[in-house]
């Protein structure tokens, strides 16, 4: 009684087996020997398989015995070019009154070579290249059996070759397979136990005569070399071998293969060509397709230079190769190489080009999974390649895949150190953003976009509000150098209103190194502003300035603009200054301010000023990301030193630089009538002097403009500075080791502070009456 692997007994031929974990499908029209080749699928996951079945009337049937030998051999022999075994079983069924035994063998999905050749329909050079590749694979399998395992297949022919979905050729039909016992001199029986299964047309002369003595004295490859010759004939003739004499017809054999073909079919077994030498030396196997696939299969052994060269040529090379071979063989190899990191970045171009030849459904199955995995690659070249070609595959990505698997990796490019990668990342959002969820857009994408838009704001805040006001002098110097290094990021408005006022203060820094760097920065940024001036309409931006020479032009322009709001009786002293006739008196007055120990900071009501007129702003200041990230709103009032006067949280649209300054100078202020109107002509004395608000245009935002004849500013122990510093009240005090933050200058109803660096203290009231 035969051994039963499954106990379930069902009627019929075995289709519909209860315990076989595979579903048997339709049979192919041809198969080797008595086997039937079925299509099949796995019951677990629906994956395709091939199911071979062989039936016999009794357990002692010779075909069943040979079939069991073939199953056992195929299970134990493993090679890339030998059919992969998955499962086998035997089932006993009853047909009428007679029992019937069926062997089922499950393998990887394949189809008969003869059927695949008809399906592909290759011709000419492409057919020869594909046959060369297939024969190369079968030759490797046979050489492995003969030379490495000392086994004899016994029946190499067209029917014993099957083809995988990737168009690889694989050897099977191991029913006749036996050990080569040529070293056993005492053996007298048949070496091939089931040689009777071999068709007479495929038998060499010594096997046809059953001359086992000659066979044992011949090399192990003698019988299979003959069989390989039969396979070559059937391939190129396009018909099954009918009789041995047909092998002499060489009209269809390629000339590059003819000599080797004749040596394989030598009438003397000992002179037949070793298949291993055929693989190494045959000219026929040296073509583009064989070389390309062979390179891909040993890609991990190649160095980076060879890989780059190969993958740069591959897109053009792929157009010359058989299209079906490229899509079914090369494309999966390339995708696998990219996925596991053995392929270089240029391979991505070849992958996408090959993928463009697929249908939309095939592309989604064969290419997209690899592309999605590549987005997590740390190779910057791979990431750049993906973003450069995202328009080719972006539409094929589902919204869920983009939101959950692609975007999280792409978003890292927003903060990449490579400017080119940041640019590509931003451009890729045109394709990816429509597929993102609202949560991702509002919670992540907008934040990244905001960071890109507010770079200038972030840099200015970091370098001016923090670095330039640091008590550690090297930090101040580093801040100045950082501003210079990033000068190309700022426009003229930001330079004039936010950068220069902060840098100029450091020209009197206690540290000489900081002073030197400050002077260099001032020159650099002034040059940028001058270039802007040259490109701007002179009539709109320099009205009233060019008519007054030297430093007097600044003060004269300021005074003339003030007359538009002042009373007629108050314009006399302004006219004198405007004509430049009282320059020496002004200089003398400036000197007296320096020597006056009783000077105090000017109090300005910033809330009223901001409400009455616009303030110069940065184009990027409307977005709060930069301030939030740099912690500007977290500082205490005492740390800001009046900076809110020029940096409101909600800043209007910027106007041209000079127009903004002129608007600031027209700010209306009020002053007690009892104060003196001739501040600029007062004598040098330690007594506090008062003046009308309208006479001191610079009082609300700065000290008087500097004069060419004034003596250098000297920071005294009392920390006082004269009115010649036009930026004293809008900028932070120069960092020193002794001066405290200028908290009283905020003008928000606080009590007057003790004398500190800044403009001369003048008793006045704001326009709001505070």
Average of per-residue pLDDT across 477-494: 88
CA 374/CA 335 separation, integer angstroms: 10
Predicted pLDDT of residue 313 = 93
Indicate the DSSP class of residue 765.
Answer: B
Read off the tokens for 40: 């099949």
Maximum distance among all alpha carbons in the chain?
A: 141
Higher model confidence: residue 531 or residue 766?
531
Indicate the pairing of strand 22-27 with strand 178-179.
Answer: unpaired
Strands in 96-238 per DSSP E: 98-107, 111-112, 151-152, 161-163, 169-171, 178-179
Spatial strand order in the sheet of 22-27:
22-27, 36-42, 48-56, 98-107, 85-95
Q: Which residues, in sequence order, are bridge partners of residue 376?
A: none
Q: By percentage, how much of the chain surpasses pLDDT 70?
A: 66
Quote the pLDDT of residue 467.
86
Question: Do 618 and 498 meet the contact criterion of CB atoms below 8 Å apart?
Answer: yes
Q: Which residue has the higher pLDDT, 267 or 638?
A: 267
* pLDDT of 41 above 50: yes
DSSP 458-500: HHHIIIIIIGGG-SSHHHHHHHHHHHHHTGGG--HHHIIIIIH
Q: What token pair was written down for 643?
A: 């900076």
CA proximity to 141, closest of 114, 170, 166, 162: 170
Enclosing H/E stretch for 300:
none
In angstroms, rounded to a whole number, what is the distance separating the alpha carbons of residues 89 and 71? 10
| Nearest-angstrom CA–CA distance, 725 and 759 | 7
Structural tokens at position 237: 């003739």
Question: Backbone phi, then psi, for 26, in 5-degree steps?
Answer: -70, 145
pLDDT in tens, 396-442: 999 999 999 999 999 999 888 888 898 899 999 999 999 999 999 98
Asked if residue 503 lies in contact with residue 523, where contact means CB atoms within 8 angstroms, the answer is no
Average pLDDT, the chain: 75
Residues 206-221 have a mean pLDDT of 91
Give CA 719 to chain center in angstroms: 56
Residue 659, pLDDT score: 55
For 429-460, the pLDDT digits (tens) are 999 999 999 999 988 988 888 776 676 667 78
The whole model's pTM is what? 0.59
Other Cβ atoms less than 10 A from the Cβ of 587: the count is 17
Q: Which phi-psi region, left, alpha or beta, contains residue 690 (left: φ > 0; alpha: ψ -120 to 50)?
A: beta
Residue that has been written with the tokens 């009783």 in this structure: 598
Q: Give me the long-range contacts of 144-148 (CB less than 8 A, separation at least 24).
A: 144/79, 144/81, 144/82, 145/77, 145/177, 145/224, 146/180, 146/220, 146/221, 146/224, 146/274, 146/275, 147/220, 147/221, 147/274, 147/275, 147/276
Cα–Cα dist 460/486, whole Å: 10
Task: Kindly report, residue by residue over 142-158, the tens digit of the pLDDT.
Answer: 999 999 999 999 999 99
Q: Are 225 and 180 in contact (CB under 8 A)?
A: no
N-term to C-term CA, the chain: 115
On the question of pLDDT at 647 being above 60, the answer is: no
Q: Which of 708, 711, 686, 682 is nearest to 695 (CA)?
A: 682
pLDDT above 90: residue 653: no
DSSP-derived 3-state class of residue 271: helix
Residue 372 has pLDDT above 80, yes or no: yes
Give 726-758 pLDDT, tens digit per residue.
444 444 455 544 444 444 444 444 444 444 444
- Calpha distance 412→451 (Å, rounded): 13
For position 455, what pLDDT does the model report?
A: 65
pLDDT at 562 over 50: no
The span from the CA of 616 to the CA of 359, in Å, is 58
Cα gap 449→158, rounded to integer Å: 63
């Amino acid at each position: 009684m035969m051994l039963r692997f499954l106990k379930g007994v069902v009627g019929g031929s075995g289709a519909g087996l209860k315990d076989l974990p595979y579903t048997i499908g339709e049979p192919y029209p041809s198969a080797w020997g008595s086997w039937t080749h079925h299509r099949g699928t796995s019951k677990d996951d629906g994956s395709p398989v091939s199911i071979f079945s062989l039936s016999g009337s009794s357990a002692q049937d010779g075909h069943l015995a040979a079939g069991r030998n073939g199953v056992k051999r195929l299970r134990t022999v493993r090679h890339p070019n030998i059919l992969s075994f998955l499962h086998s079983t035997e089932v006993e069924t009853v047909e009428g009154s007679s029992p019937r035994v069926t062997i089922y063998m499950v393998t990887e999905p394949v189809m008969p070579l003869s059927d695949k050749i008809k399906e592909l329909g290759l011709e000419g050079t492409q057919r020869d290249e594909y046959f060369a590749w297939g024969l190369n694979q079968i030759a490797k399998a046979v050489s492995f059996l003969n030379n490495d395992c000392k086994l004899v297949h016994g029946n190499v022919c067209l029917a014993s070759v099957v083809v995988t979905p990737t168009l690889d050729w694989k050897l099977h039909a191991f029913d006749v397979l036996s050990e080569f016992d040529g070293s056993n001199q005492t053996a007298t029986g048949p070496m091939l136990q089931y040689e009777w299964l071999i068709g007479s047309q495929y038998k060499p002369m010594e096997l046809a005569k059953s001359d086992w003595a000659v066979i044992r004295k011949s090399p192990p490859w003698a019988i299979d070399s003959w069989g390989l010759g039969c396979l070559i004939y059937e391939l190129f003739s396009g018909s099954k071998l009918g009789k041995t004499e047909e092998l002499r017809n060489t009209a269809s054999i390629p000339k590059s293969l003819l000599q080797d073909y004749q040596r394989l079919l030598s009438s003397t077994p000992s002179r037949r060509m070793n298949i291993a030498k055929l693989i190494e030396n045959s000219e026929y196997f040296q073509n583009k397709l064989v070389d390309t696939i062979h390179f891909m299969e040993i890609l991990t052994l190649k160095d980076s230079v060879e890989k780059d060269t190969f993958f740069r040529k591959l897109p053009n090379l792929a157009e010359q190769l058989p299209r079906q071979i490229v899509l079914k063989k090369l494309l999966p190899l390339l995708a696998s190489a990219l996925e596991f990191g053995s392929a270089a970045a240029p391979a991505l171009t070849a992958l996408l080009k090959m993928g463009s030849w697929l249908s939309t459904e095939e592309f989604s199955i064969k290419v997209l999974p690899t592309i999605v995995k590549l987005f997590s690659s740390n190779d910057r070249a791979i990431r750049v390649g993906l973003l450069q070609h995202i328009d080719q595959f972006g539409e094929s990505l589902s919204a869920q895949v983009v939101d959950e698997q692609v975007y999280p990796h792409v978003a890292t490019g927003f903060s990449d150190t490579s400017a080119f990668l940041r640019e590509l990342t931003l451009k890729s959002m045109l394709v990816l953003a429509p597929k993102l969820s609202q949560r991702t857009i509002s919670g992540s994408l907008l934040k990244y976009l905001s960071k890109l838009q507010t770079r200038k704001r972030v840099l200015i805040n970091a370098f001016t509000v923090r670095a330039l006001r640091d008590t550690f002098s090297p930090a101040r110097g580093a801040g100045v150098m950082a501003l210079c290094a990033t000068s190309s990021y700022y426009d003229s408005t930001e330079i004039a209103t936010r950068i220069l006022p902060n840098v100029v203060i450091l020209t009197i820094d206690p540290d000489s190194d900081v002073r030197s760097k400050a002077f260099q920065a001032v020159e650099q940024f002034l040059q940028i502003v001058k270039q802007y001036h040259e490109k701007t309409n002179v009539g709109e931006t320099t009205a009233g300035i060019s008519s007054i020479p030297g430093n007097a032009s600044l003060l004269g322009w300021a005074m003339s603009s003030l007359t538009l709001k002042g009373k007629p009786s108050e314009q006399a002293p302004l006219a004198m200054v405007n004509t430049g006739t009282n320059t020496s008196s002004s200089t003398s007055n400036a000197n007296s301010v320096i020597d006056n120990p009783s000077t105090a900071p000017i109090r300005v009501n910033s809330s009223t000023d901001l409400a009455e007129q616009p303030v110069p702003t940065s184009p990027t200041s409307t977005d709060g990301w930069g301030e939030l990230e740099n912690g500007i709103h977290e500082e205490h009032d005492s740390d800001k030193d009046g900076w809110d006067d020029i940096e409101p949280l909600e800043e209007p649209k910027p106007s041209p630089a000079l127009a903004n300054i002129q608007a600031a100078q027209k700010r209306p202020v009020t002053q007690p009538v009892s104060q003196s109107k001739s501040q600029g002509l007062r004598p040098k004395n330690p007594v506090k002097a008062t003046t009308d608000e309208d006479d001191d245009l610079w009082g609300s935002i700065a000290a008087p403009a500097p004069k060419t004849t004034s003596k250098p500013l000297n920071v005294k122990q009392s920390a006082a500075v004269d009115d010649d510093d036009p930026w004293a009240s809008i900028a932070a005090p120069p960092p020193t080791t002794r001066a405290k933050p200028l908290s009283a200058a905020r003008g928000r109803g606080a009590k007057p502070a003790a004398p500190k660096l800044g403009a001369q203290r003048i008793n006045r009231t704001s326009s709001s009456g505070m």
